[in-house]
A = this chain, B = another copy of it.
Amino acid sequence: MTWKEPEKWQNMISGNDCPMCQDIHLETNEHSFLITELKQSFVRLPKNQYWPGWVAVFLKRHANELFELDQNELSEFWQDVSKTAQAVQKVFSPVKINYAIYGNLCPHLHCHIFPQQIKNDPHTPIKSDAEEVFLSDEVYDDIIKKIKKAL
């Protein structure tokens, strides 16, 4: 679902029919595993690890754009993202971290954290779902434990 279906898009924007509101707090949902809960957010590990170390931070409450948050929410949300990025830095040792808020498929505020490694092409924007790479339960557990420990 995207803005190409304006009526459904408006329902998602309003929060009345937002799939992320339904499942971002769950231990496991269709797309990801819960790593931890922070002040304003749920930190999750996408099952698709095509981009190794990809983590996403979801605002707990429904909002579409940064300017819908009050000053305290905005400040605490970015403390959560910053703290998570630092944990990703410790675990994956990237040369740079990329941070992205899109919401083009679901307009519920969430920030992707993508570690960039020296082998990666710095000129090409990351398409996190360009391919699908799934890991074993043991490997997911290991990544989750390492990020939790680093947080």
Contact = CB atoms under 8 A, between A and B. Distances in A.
Q: How many copies does the complex hold?
A: 2
A105 interface: yes
A3 interface: yes
A144 interface: no
Interface of A: 2-4, 6, 9, 64-67, 69, 71, 74-75, 78-79, 81-83, 85-86, 89, 95-105, 107, 116, 118, 122-127
A104 B124 CA distance: 10
A74 B96 CA distance: 18
Given A74-B75, A75-B75, A127-B125, A82 B96 contact: no
Nearest to A104: B122
